[in-house]
Structure 1
């Protein structure tokens, strides 16, 4: 499957007013793509378009709530009306609430599902007809390592991301069966330093945090641009996420034990925050139209992302490592023959 170079693409980025979506839009535009940016925050979109146009990039803004299919369809329709086609759809919009399950109302749980799962479904429904019309393209959905392993205090978000993984698996096979050259990618970030923890609802009595360490949003944006040119099934961003994925496959009870010890205290800061504080669960809130959040001091580098974006080096390194292990074991066996 051959995807277009970035500088020849028209890209729609949903959930672009802040965080991963904003950084992704900036990178696509800097690489020469024409971008349509969408979110609920009109002020965030306007400032993003201004930033893109300031360095000569092309961008349009579309205000939309992804829980409403017609508004999501309008993103795709307006993108094609403006630029003539759609090559890549990046869906990053999400919301959440951090609270014990018993304190979450049905309406709050449903809202997280409507935005964080059904919004992604709406995005694929809106984008696919145009990708099929173009004859190729990429659906890039921002999931989470919580799609592999649920976390305490985030039951609605974890449920939404698990649902997203199941949806993408089913959709991917249907497209393959139809022999349609449309790449379907799940991007699974670890804990990323975006304004997410500033904006989500909370009933913890304090400002929430992800379980440290954090990673820079640019790592996720770079992974998104990579898969927009190189068809990829899944891409975990952040070394801790890769370790968690392996541990979950090997021993879910072990991960249960670890999260029992650190999962709940690890998501609480010492900063008081009322559950009545402004949040973006049902409406957008002002003041967070930026890429990064408040946890820069907790960021660490990630080393394996680069290997995943350079497969020949990755597989070469693994081959050398395998040969080294084989040689060591062979020498050990020979040295112990009697």
Structure 2
């Protein structure tokens, strides 16, 4: 049965890939976010794949506009069945090079944007006693890395917010469910528009996955929101286990490798546009799509997604994580 799905930040990257997959199922997909060129292109793709689409130019940092967007979704597409929070903005730089205003902006979009979307969904779902909210998180919600303090702080905050909400919904014995999808490094356009003060061009920390890997996990999570969370990418599990077993070792490892692993060999052009304050696709009507510039290095499948969908084989995932811990320890001590 077709559903009404809201995806924030679907103009590009993971949100764009997820919109396509929901559209292919015949769902009605609402697209609130910045970047009208990307949103319009996403809507065309959803319609071409057999779904309905509604473009809603909204900055998720504005709670009133998010609420108004939700109202319009229900008026035009019907009751919201699934709300997926994806939208974010960030800054790549050391802590000392990020201004207070930039930290505030990142939190307003990347954390409060999730809060605003969740509250808009809850105000409608709770009365009906059903619905699913999917928070798109990151392995960095568990283990922070250098040069991404703003993003890591937002993802940690989302995790705390979601865990509190889950307990409240259980207390109320509500039929509304909330789940998280923790993502690895992905090949998305963010590395071409992120606000950066790094000397070289930013890149995702390998191993890198295609956004469709994340999108498949999001769609599955939307259909199985009773599960607490879904992990994408085996190294996300290895990172979590390593940080729990040997946090000081992980700190030293990231101190030694975290700067180089997040930059390519190319010098960054300081004139490159950044989407922290304004969307970059509206400047020239450019549609960035779902993929970034790392197609040649990105994996199209993730065993961890499959394991998340088949919990009886989760022990295999744990074993893989422990193997990753052993590899990490050996890498640091070599």
Q: TM-score, normalised by structure 1?
A: 0.89
Cα deviation 1:109-162 (Å, max 9, x = unaligned): 111111100111111111101111332111101111110011100111111111
Q: Superposition pairs for residues 1-338 of structure 1, below 5 Å?
A: 7-230=1-224, 231-286=226-281, 287-300=286-299, 301-312=301-312, 314=313
Does the aligned pair in 2 maintain the 1:203–1:274 contact within 8 Å? no
Q: Distance in 2 between matches of 1:316 and 1:260?
A: 31
- Partner in structure 1 of residue 322 of structure 2: none
Report the CA distance between 1:302 and its aligned residue. Answer: 2.0
Cα deviation 1:22-71 (Å, max 9, x = unaligned): 11011011112111112101111111111122233211110100111011
Report the CA distance between 1:270 and its aligned residue. Answer: 2.0
Does the aligned pair in 2 maintain the 1:87–1:134 contact within 8 Å? no
In structure 2, stretches of 5+ residues that fail to align are 320-334
Does the aligned pair in 2 maintain the 1:97–1:202 contact within 8 Å? yes
Report the CA distance between 1:316 and its aligned residue. Answer: 8.7
The 1:316–1:143 alpha-carbon spacing in structure 2 relative to 1, beyond 3 Å, is: closer
Does the aligned pair in 2 maintain the 1:195–1:288 contact within 8 Å? no
Q: Distance in 1 between matches of 2:102 and 2:316?
A: 47
Q: Distance in 2 between matches of 1:304 and 1:144?
A: 14
Q: Distance in 2 between matches of 1:293 and 1:118?
A: 26
Report the CA distance between 1:190 and its aligned residue. Answer: 0.6
Report the CA distance between 1:274 and its aligned residue. Answer: 3.6
- Partner in structure 2 of residue 330 of structure 1: none
Question: What's the secondary structure of 1:143's corresponding residue?
Answer: strand
Cα deviation 1:153-208 (Å, max 9, x = unaligned): 01111111111111111111011101111111111101011111111100012211
Does the aligned pair in 2 maintain the 1:13–1:92 contact within 8 Å? yes
Does the aligned pair in 2 maintain the 1:19–1:195 contact within 8 Å? yes
The 1:316–1:241 alpha-carbon spacing in structure 2 relative to 1, beyond 3 Å, is: closer
Report the RMSD for the aligned CA atoms in angstroms.
Answer: 1.7
Question: What's the secondary structure of 1:73's corresponding residue?
Answer: helix
Report the CA distance between 1:304 and its aligned residue. Answer: 2.3
Report the CA distance between 1:297 and its aligned residue. Answer: 2.0
Q: Distance in 1 between matches of 2:58 and 2:316?
A: 45
The structure with the larger Rg is: 1
Report the CA distance between 1:234 and its aligned residue. Answer: 1.1
The 1:104–1:275 alpha-carbon spacing in structure 2 relative to 1, beyond 3 Å, is: farther
Q: Distance in 1 between matches of 2:88 and 2:246?
A: 29
Q: Distance in 2 between matches of 1:190 and 1:103?
A: 25
The count of corresponding residues between Structure 1 and Structure 2 is 313
Question: What's the secondary structure of 2:266's corresponding residue?
Answer: strand
Q: TM-score, normalised by structure 2?
A: 0.90
Q: Distance in 2 between matches of 1:123 and 1:57?
A: 22
